[in-house]
Every structure is written in C-alpha cells, then in structure tokens.
Chain A
Amino acid sequence: MEPVSVVIVDDHPAIVDGVRAWCAAAAPPITVVAWGHEPAVAVSGAGAAADVVLFDLQLETGVLAFDAVGRLVAGGRRVVVYSQAADDATVLRCLETGVSTYLTKAEGREHLIPAVHAAARDLPYVSPALGGVMAGDRRADRPVLSDREREVLLAWFESDSKNLVAARFGLSVKTIDTYIARVRIKYADVGRPASTKAALVARALQDGLVDLGDL
C-alpha cells in the first residue's frame, strides 16, 4: 500500500517542522510531499496530488481562510483543518463546508496522525474539541443526536480518553467509537452537499458504521 501523502499549509515554521517530524515517525508512515504558507502550495506542484491537505485556518493575523478551505473542498480535496481557533462557530462552519475533520492546535500528534490516516481513507475522525462543539451545537438545523450520543461526545470532550469513556458507560471502546463516528456522519449528511461529505457517508454505509435508518 502506498504511504499516505500530505501537504501542509501553515505559516508557522515551528508547526511545519513539528508536524513533519510527527509524520516521519508515524506508523504507518505519512509522507509530507510539500509545505508552505499559502494555499497555492496545495494546488500546484507536488502538493496538488497529496491525499490530504493539512490546513491552518489562520494564515494571516485575524483572518480565517474559509474561502480557501471552500475552494479546496470544492476541488474534491480532503482537508484536515489544524487551527488555533477553537470557537464553536468556526468549527461548525468548517464542518458545513465539508472538511474531513477539525483539530485545534492544542491537540497534538496523538490526534493529528490518526486524523490524517482517517481522512485519507474517508473515515470519520472526531477529536475531543470537535466532539465538544458537536455536543454543544444548538443551531436550529443541527442533526438530531440521541441523548446517549450527546453524553458520549461530552464525555469524550471532557476526558480525551476513550478508555475512560468506555469505563464510565460500561461499554467497549469500539462501541464508544461507533457512537462518536455516527455523530460525525450525521453532520456530513446535513447542509450543503460536498463530494467529501458524500465520501464519508458512503464509506460509513459500506463499513456498516451507520445504516440508512440512522440518517
């Protein structure tokens, strides 16, 4: 199997270096094919063919690059947003656009590496921060979550440990994973259509993670 390739769009050299080091040490390995501080690095040269775009939302001070994310997603790219911004509105807006997943920069390699692997395979990945945002979502057009799904998401946000969540609810880690992934798929199934969202839903249906009745 070809190693997963990623292009990093981030304006902090330290972050780029750190992520490259994490990717090099990852198992299975992740190849960083290009990096730079402009979205252009993901659409031309070596970056254009990368499986996953790791995208820093805040490329200029005070400006969030939603438009660039939108263009990448519209071009069928799998975007993992890795951002300083952790406010609910920003995260929900990115989900709505059709990004594969959203990580805050407070979330380190233990979330970033699995998130990139999951994105490359069109599998859902929900970091604790993203779980917290989805659990607290009160918009009128949000997907309908069961009480248990909401509780599990909140617990995941609180503990950052699926072992602790599993111990608390007396369920297996695999079941906890299913609850969390199912919520992510529900989010992919609402709002504006995008090919990346469709791929997430299709893959989840194929793998039996959700059935049509859940959606």
Chain B
Amino acid sequence: MTPDGLVAERPSLALALLHSLRVARSVIVLVILVGLVLPHVVADLAVYEPRWTGPAWFAGLLAVAVADGVLVLRRRTWGRARWPAAAFVLALSVWATALLPASALVGPPHQTLGAVGWFGVLLLADTGLAALLGFLGVHVALTVVQLGLADRLDLLTAVDLAVVVAATGGFQLAVGTAGAALDRVAGAATEAAHRQAATVTAEEVARQLHDDREERYTRLRDSVLPLLLGIGDGSLSPADPDVQRRAAVEAARLRRLFAEEGDVVDLLAAELGSLVDLLDQRGTEVSFSATGERPVPPAAVRSALVDAVAPVLLAARRSARVTVSAAGTGVLVGVVTDTDLATAVTDVPMIESVGPAEISVVVVGTEQQTWVEVRWSPSAS
C-alpha cells in the first residue's frame, strides 16, 4: 500500500468541520423559531385574520427548518431542492407580511422580517456568499414593495426597517461567511494533515525497508559467506547436489534482496518470480499464475511465505507450478512440483518467526507430485 493510499482513507477534516457548522446553523434556526418567533405568534394570534394564518406561516417555516435538520443528521444536502425551498420561504414571508394590518408592519408582530433571512443561511450559504446576499436582498426588496403598497414608506418605518435588517442580516451574513472561511481553513488543515501523514508514512516505510535490508544482509552474511568460503577452500564441492541446492536458495535470496531495491508493486509476486526465473534458467518448466485482488503482506510474512515454498520449489525436477491467489483477507501461495512427497517434505522448514496463527502450511503428496500450500490469514486486528 502506498503512503497516499493510507492517507486517502482518513475522513476529511474539512467535511467533519463543515458538518459541525451545519449542525450549529440548524440549532440556531430552530432555537430562534421556537424560542423567539413562536412566543410572538402565540401572543399576536388576534392580529391575524383569520386567526389560523399566523400559526400557518410559522408551521411552514418550521417544516423547512425541520427538513433541514433531518438532512443534516443524514449528512445530506438540499441539492437542487434548495431553490424551490428558498422560493417557498420567500412566498411565506410575502404572505405573512400581507396578512398584517399596515400598523403592525416592521413592528413586533412582523416576525418574518427578522426570521426569514436565517433560511437563506440554511439553504444557500453552502453555495456561496452571492446567493445568500441575493436572498437577503430580494427579501428586503419585497418587504419595501409591500410597505409601499401599505403606504408605510415614512421615515420612521424606514429607520426601523434599517435597524432590523442591519441587526439580523449582520448575524446571518456572519454565520453564512463563517462557512466559507471554515471551508478554506479546513481545506488547508486537511492538506497539512495529509502532508504530515504522508511524510510520517514515508519515513516509517523507509525505516522498515532499511531494517529489513539490514536483517537480510545479516542473514546473507551468516548463510552466503560460509557457502562461498566452503566452495573457495574446497571443503564444499560444487558437484554435490546438496551444495547446489544451498547455492540456489542463496541465489534466490540475493535476487529477492535486489528485487526490493526496485519499485515493484507486488513484492511477493516479484520474489516468487525471481525463483521461477531461476528454475527456468535451470531448464525446469515452471508456470506462474496470480489471481484475485490480494492484500499486501508485511515484509516478515512475505519472507516467511517465500522461505516456506522455496526449498520445495527448488527441488523440482522437470516441471513446477507456482500460484498466488487471494483467500478471504489473506494470501495463498501454492507450489506443485514433480518430486515425490518423501523427497520434498524433509525440506519444508518450520516457520517460527511468524505466529502459527497467521501462517499455515498444508502439504499434499502423491507418488508423482508434491503440493505445498502456504496460507497467510492476517488476524482481524
């Protein structure tokens, strides 16, 4: 797995913050509706004629606010429905204003004047400041037209209107722009977090690679050097089949070490491929197939898997089959050779470096063939 892949799985900080902001907006609007607007609607029931019309426009606004709350809880947005919803809210506002007697306009019973702007915040703030400003502007313009129709365009009313618009609209714009600002800050923070995580991951990968290599070199010193020295001083004979096999195993290890230096994505397949090449050069007919979406085993596991099958594979005479496949959340490495069981099993090493719970070996043999299957089943953690 690449460092990028690790980072991409982290939930976006920006999304988390924006969601919190949406929750806050919904709560603000519901509190304003129930805590500030509702008492006025109840107290001024008599101002509306007929009397049900006051509760009716309030119910309309409440329905929009509740719908928004449900969408927020389900982490969904209004999408295109935001526009008809905004038009509906403006229509409610015009209706509620038209119901009021001229004397009550811009006074305490005229609750939609301050409340409606909040729906602009709920419905439009996510699409940008322009849409919110447009909504607030249209609302004020409609109110001014209705004041004109009611013959209430006197200076005192205009001042009252300006005070209400400035007081409530200021809050609404502030909350609306907070979203845009938060979006920028969160975007930058997410990017920084990703960069940091990528750096940490890259460092960790580099450190592990280095440790692995150190370990490999140590093992090579312990195994390759004695072999070479033995052949050099004549105590080991290159004609001895056992020496030949040891040499083949060590050559495969060296190739694996070199394979890790390159940018090979599937290191397990690359390591097995090196063994296959080796047999190929020796004249053994080897087929190599891989299938399924396979997880990437850690280096220690990879090593254990390859070490488990290498001796059996290298004991092949004329033909061998090597496969890698996905098995649940794990990986299966299979090797079938044309050697009989008695020859092959003595070479299957016990795997002690990796927990037996994670790696299991199955050996099946007939007189003509030996099949070794090594399965890595990562524990759930």
Contacts and interface: CB of A to CB of B under 8 A. Distances in A.
B44 interface: no
B289 A129 contact: yes
Interface in B324-374: 325-327, 332, 334, 336, 362, 364-366, 369, 371, 373
Contact of B291 (A106, A129, A160): A129
B336 A160 contact: yes
A132 B289 CA distance: 9
B292 interface: yes
B293 interface: yes
Contacts of B255: none
Contacts of B332: 154, 158
By secondary structure, the B interface counts as strand
Nearest to B328: A150
A1 B290 CA distance: 40
Interface string A46-90: 000000000000000000000000000000000000000010100
B292 A136 contact: yes
Interface residues of A, number: 22
A128 to B, nearest CB: 8
Contacts of B293: 88, 136, 138
B371 A136 contact: no
A146 to B, nearest CB: 14
A168 B321 CA distance: 17
B168 interface: no
A83 to B, nearest CB: 14
A178 interface: no
A157 interface: yes
Interface string A112-126: 000000000000000
By secondary structure, the A interface counts as helix
B323 interface: yes
A138 B287 CA distance: 25
A164 B369 contact: yes
B319 to A, nearest CB: 10
A16 to B, nearest CB: 22
A154 B326 CA distance: 9
A161 B336 contact: yes
A195 interface: no
Contacts of A163: 366, 369
Contacts of B336: 158-161, 164
Nearest to A163: B366
B100 to A, nearest CB: 57
Best-buried of A86, A106, A164, A168 by chain B (most CB within 10 Å) = A164
Contacts of A132: 289, 291-292, 323, 325
A7 interface: no
B335 to A, nearest CB: 8
Interface in A153-176: 154-155, 157-161, 163-164, 167-168
A106 B289 contact: yes
A157 B325 CA distance: 9
A135 interface: yes
A103 to B, nearest CB: 12
Contact of A135 (B289, B325, B371): B325
Contact of A158 (B323, B365, B366): B323
B334 A106 contact: no
The 4 closest A-B pairs by CB, nearest first: A136-B292, A158-B334, A132-B291, A168-B364
Given A136-B293, A158-B323, A163-B369, 16 more contacts: A86-B291, A88-B292, A88-B293, A128-B289, A132-B289, A132-B292, A132-B325, A135-B325, A157-B289, A157-B323, A158-B332, A158-B373, A159-B369, A164-B364, A164-B366, A168-B364
13 contacts: A86-B289, A132-B289, A132-B291, A135-B292, A158-B325, A158-B336, A159-B334, A159-B364, A159-B371, A161-B336, A161-B369, A161-B371, A164-B366
